[in-house]
A and B are shown apart, each in its own frame.
Chain A
Amino acid sequence: MRITDLAAQLGAETVEAPDPAAEVREGYTSDLLSDVIAHAPSESVLITIQGHLNTVAVATLAGIRAILLANGRPAPDDMRAAARREGVAILRSPENQFALSHRVHRLLHGP
């Protein structure tokens, strides 16, 4: 699913979308970056509350294409700059990780 379509379906705010046509095929939910880098699938959207620079670094290394910040967590400027540089999208939603994981799973893999 295209990142722009995912944001629209979730009603999430698009904070950064350096490559709007990029597709995500999987999702992963975690706040533990060592867990993310070890286990997150590539071409995925990461659902997390970790809104900082290192989330982008881990996403880049793991091939994650979008970071979906839960609970309306802010994305600092240096994080946004890194995301633009590395071609990783940042989305934001006021919903929590549990609800977002459920909705993303339905959108990507059906009910």
Chain B
Amino acid sequence: MKVLPIDPEQSPLVILDLLFKLKIKDVMTAPVFTVSRRDTLRAVQRLMKERTITGVPVAEDGRLFGIVSVDDIINALDGGYIDDPVEQRMSRNVVVLEEDMPLSFGTSYFRKYRFGRFPVLNKDNRLVGILSSRDVSASLLLELFKEYRRLEQQVQPPPAPEFDHIRLQFKVRRYDFENAGKASYELKRILTAQQTDPRIVRRAAIAAYEMEMNQIVHSIGGVISCSIAGRRIEIVARDLGPGIEDVEAALREGFTTANDWIKSLGFGAGMGLPNIRRVSDHFEIHSKPGSGTTVRATILIPNVPPADGAGAGARAAAP
């Protein structure tokens, strides 16, 4: 019978690694139950039964004299000498391990000697523990599990439920209608690629597009910044001027200062700011005539799993 079926030449590298990395003292059972030389074999048999162990070292003050195995007990019962003192019947040629040896020594001993257990001594030859095949299998399983978890985390980090911080920035120039939509396209593309709910994507695209249009139509130029972090999409439009005379009025639907040319293109109907405010969870505007305007729109991504078909673009986005 193979006590411990670990053959280094046929084991995966990860097991070999562990066999060399772990020391006997990391794996052994300690402290160890012992009997003294004057105890009877019957006392040993009781100890084995109580502690469900199959081998007991004979030691006094840490000094090892021998070992009694369950086979010895069976023979004693059979031969009728179960009440003899241990000293007369124990095995005296005990094969021992040292606590600082790598575990590979332990497994090679199991294959070489066919014993079920080996007492473990420290540098001063004192008994400090015992190594059974069960200790080896249990610790290898435990270490393999730890190793597996470590590899798993290394190879495939768990999918982040939230966005890492993404920042985008776009320059907007006055009357540059040709590039209108650059910021909103890019924002939409990134959000869609991350399987964001299409309704959220559309709200973000609306806010960004209206900000771009406002800067193109009304400002002397500015910057649109988008920041996606966690469950928060923040879109900020900062321009260099000329600023808004009456912010309250500008927030009313239909209020506009756009000229006819702008209106003929389908813009300047006084819907931009109200649209942005409508799609935002938080909305802020700061403006002063003579200096610039800052509009900040925050859209929060609800903490619910995306609905079926969330990845299918704008399919489910119909209001």
Q: Which residues of A contact B (CB under 8 A)?
A: 26, 31-39, 41-44, 48, 50, 52-55, 57-58, 60-63, 78
> Does B269 sit at the interface, judged by CB under 8 A?
yes
Task: Judge whether B266 and A55 touch: CB under 8 Å.
Answer: yes
List the B side residues contacting A50 at CB < 8 Å.
Answer: 265-266
Residues B227-275 near A (CB distance < 8 A) = 265-267, 269, 271-272, 275
Q: Mark B76-94, 1 if CB is under 8 A from A, else 0.
A: 0000000000000000000
A32's nearest neighbour on chain B, judged by CB, is: B269
List the A side residues contacting B177 at CB < 8 Å.
Answer: 52-54
List the B side residues contacting A34 at CB < 8 Å.
Answer: 210, 213, 266-267, 269, 271-272, 275
Task: Judge whether A60 and B278 touch: CB under 8 Å.
Answer: no
Task: Judge whether B315 and A52 touch: CB under 8 Å.
Answer: no
Interface size class of B (residues with CB under 8 A): 20 to 34
List the B side residues contacting A57 at CB < 8 Å.
Answer: 180-181, 184-185, 209
> Does B9 sit at the interface, judged by CB under 8 A?
no
> With A33-B266, A34-B269 as given contacts, are A61 and B188 in contact (CB-CB < 8 Å)?
yes
Docked complex Cα distance between A9 and B269 (Å): 34
A-B residue pairs in contact (CB < 8 Å), sample of 30: A26-B318, A32-B266, A32-B271, A33-B266, A34-B210, A34-B213, A35-B269, A35-B271, A37-B206, A37-B209, A38-B206, A38-B275, A38-B278, A42-B314, A42-B315, A42-B317, A48-B266, A50-B265, A52-B177, A52-B265, A54-B177, A54-B180, A54-B265, A55-B266, A57-B181, A61-B184, A61-B206, A62-B202, A62-B205, A78-B178
Known pairs A32-B271, A41-B319, A63-B317 / 17 extra A-B pairs, C-beta < 8 Å: A26-B318, A31-B266, A34-B213, A34-B272, A38-B206, A39-B319, A41-B318, A43-B315, A53-B177, A54-B180, A54-B265, A58-B209, A61-B206, A62-B205, A62-B314, A62-B317, A78-B178
Partner pick for B185 among A54, A55, A61, CB 8 A cutoff: A61
List the B side residues contacting A42 at CB < 8 Å.
Answer: 198, 202, 314-318
Q: Mark B299-319, 1 if CB is under 8 A from A, else 0.
A: 000000000000001111111
Q: Which residues of B contact A (CB under 8 A)?
A: 177-178, 180-181, 184-185, 188, 198, 202, 205-206, 209-210, 213, 265-267, 269, 271-272, 275, 278, 313-319
- Write the nearest CB–CB distance from A30 to chain B, whole angstroms: 8
Docked complex Cα distance between A34 and B180 (Å): 13
A65's nearest neighbour on chain B, judged by CB, is: B314
Partner pick for A60 among B185, B272, B275, CB 8 A cutoff: B185
Q: Is the interface of A mostly helix, strand, loop or mixed?
A: helix
Docked complex Cα distance between A31 and B269 (Å): 10
Task: Judge whether A61 and B266 touch: CB under 8 Å.
Answer: no
Docked complex Cα distance between A92 and B318 (Å): 24
Docked complex Cα distance between A14 and B44 (Å): 98
List the A side residues contacting B315 at CB < 8 Å.
Answer: 42-43, 63
List the A side residues contacting B275 at CB < 8 Å.
Answer: 34, 37-38
Docked complex Cα distance between A91 and B302 (Å): 38
List the A side residues contacting B313 at CB < 8 Å.
Answer: 63
Task: Judge whether B266 and A54 touch: CB under 8 Å.
Answer: yes
Docked complex Cα distance between A26 and B205 (Å): 20
Task: Judge whether A63 and B271 touch: CB under 8 Å.
Answer: no
List the B side residues contacting A33 at CB < 8 Å.
Answer: 213, 265-267
Partner pick for A63 among B266, B272, B314, CB 8 A cutoff: B314
List the B side residues contacting A35 at CB < 8 Å.
Answer: 269, 271
